[in-house]
Structure 1
């Protein structure tokens, strides 16, 4: 067997993840398959690359040498592919997104920031589907969210950048709800409510809500799964359900948004791109366009503006900060 780029990528992912199980999830393979692949790589390399222990894996001296060389090779291959694309007069950008609030404003920002690029934007309902399609080459970059400690597995050959490291989820409920007049609501006060979730919430949201409710002393009743936002808002306005919501979401007729006491569920927003398809300059233009789209919605709710202004360390990088 000869070492190939995919073998070098696997070694790097194992080192980055710190364990075979986490690396396998990120690579989209089973742990036994990755273990077998590592053994084959170690036979070619001439010895063990990692020491296995109770708390994960650590590179051996041979492993450190292989890692240094692997990172150099993979970096050069990424630079070759991205550099070639950068020479193209009007490079394209295929962006996949989940239905974040900022997507409504993102198209205009992209058209301004990347006017010389041919841009296509597709909205998916699943973060996992997004990253899978990124690995398959359907998308050049993806925009997605993660909730609490959950990490969406990314395919090899990609780089991710966090736009918003933390935002507190709030609750959307009917304007006629008995708690609608509160400035802030304790999660325990919502124990008897019917919750509405997205059809495919694979960003860690349902698990985070269940865990937060368990700490508050109850199990949430997840009764409805609806994809269409307007249908969600209509059901909530009618008092049929409540839902978690980004704090930048707009106020809609018949509903109110209220922050949760103690911020029990938080999210983050990330961008990932294929290094062989997106140059460093393209990635930076994309990041800044997404940042402007997010910031345009911060004033949708006064409670979030107050929370946001008190935490400048969470703000995305911008031209003004340089």
Structure 2
């Protein structure tokens, strides 16, 4: 017998109720039928899941583990069905996010200002996974992500995409007291000995793309911080303990500076991605407009007020998609 979701539901209910009659009532079957079903499930798994004492039931050690996993699967299936129902009916909220907290706030604000057909449910940037993975597996509906232009990304047939920023040269964040902070642009080879805060995983899964780009320059970066958003780690940069990559819309706090990298060795793109079937074409267009407006707003309020902007060449500045 192959295990099915209904078998996992039986395990979860019996473990929760702790009584065969109570579990049978919850499942809408007789106690005898339930007992036979539990026996078939245990034979299929090759282990005893429950101990019985009269009408009472308790889990064995392996039974507790199986019941916990069964509850997780049953809950996920229920959520999946609810997601499908919501999206088919068009009643569910549109889960919207980005992989940058600063940009997230602006993007959501501009999305609210449009006449989106569905209500919005803002989801702050996720940790422990890439935003694209969250779209692919149904945890998000639409989001703006930053991806290295040189990175080889695996295409996901369930995810759509539109480029918002065609060319976004990465900057370097330094302490204002760093010896290279006074230069107009910084050669990344001169920072090879520094402790680096690397781009978050969505920008660069596993840092492999960055390593490939820098490998062509003969540069290997050392990092005790790993991939991490710059925002909460600015104190490490300001005090000179680390240097970091940064996007042009970042804002340097007092004691920190942003500088273009000479010859722009690392170029990113900002892309709107969505789960196909979860959002209509009209709402995709509204999200595209909101994403572009949010980026232009950030350039005005952050990048164009930073010391690096007035002297930067045109190829060191972002290019928005037309």
Q: Equivalents in 1 of 2:299, 2:215: separation in Å?
A: 30
Query: For residues 199-278 of structure 1, what are the structure 2 equivalents within 5 Å?
Result: 200=201, 203-204=204-205, 206-225=207-226, 227=228, 229-278=230-279
Match for residue 188 of structure 2?
A: 187
- Greater CA drift, 282-291 or 137-146: 137-146
Match for residue 171 of structure 2?
A: 170
Match for residue 43 of structure 1?
A: none
Structure 1 residue 194, shift from structure 2 partner: 1.0
Structure 2 residue runs of 5 or longer lacking an equivalent are 1-83
How big is each residue's C-alpha offset from its partner over 1:252-301, in whole Å with a ceiling of 9 and x where there is no partner? 12110000010000100111212311111000001110111111122323
Structure 1 residue 213, shift from structure 2 partner: 3.3
Match for residue 132 of structure 2?
A: 131
Structure 1 residue 227, shift from structure 2 partner: 4.2
How many residues are aligned here?
233
Structure 1 residue runs of 5 or longer lacking an equivalent are 1-81, 318-322
Cα separation, partners in 2 of 1:208 and 1:135, compared to 1, 3 Å: closer
Cα separation, partners in 2 of 1:234 and 1:151, compared to 1, 3 Å: same
Match for residue 298 of structure 2?
A: 297
Q: Equivalents in 2 of 1:104, 1:157: separation in Å?
A: 26
Query: For residues 1-322 of structure 1, what are the structure 2 equivalents within 5 Å?
Result: 88=90, 92-99=93-100, 101-114=102-115, 117-122=118-123, 123-125=125-127, 129-197=130-198, 200=201, 203-204=204-205, 206-225=207-226, 227=228, 229-299=230-300, 300-302=302-304, 303-304=308-309, 314-317=319-322
1:194 and 1:223 in contact (8 A); partners too? yes
Q: Equivalents in 2 of 1:202, 1:313: separation in Å?
A: 16
Q: Equivalents in 1 of 2:222, 2:113: separation in Å?
A: 44
Greater Rg by CA: 2
Structure 1 residue 306, shift from structure 2 partner: 7.2
1:97 and 1:121 in contact (8 A); partners too? no
Q: Equivalents in 2 of 1:312, 1:183: separation in Å?
A: 14
Q: CA RMSD in A?
A: 3.2
Query: TM-score with structure 1 length normalisation?
Result: 0.63
How big is each residue's C-alpha offset from its partner over 1:206-245, in whole Å with a ceiling of 9 and x where there is no partner? 2343234333333211121374644310000010000001
Q: Equivalents in 2 of 1:249, 1:205: separation in Å?
A: 22
Q: Equivalents in 2 of 1:171, 1:151: separation in Å?
A: 23
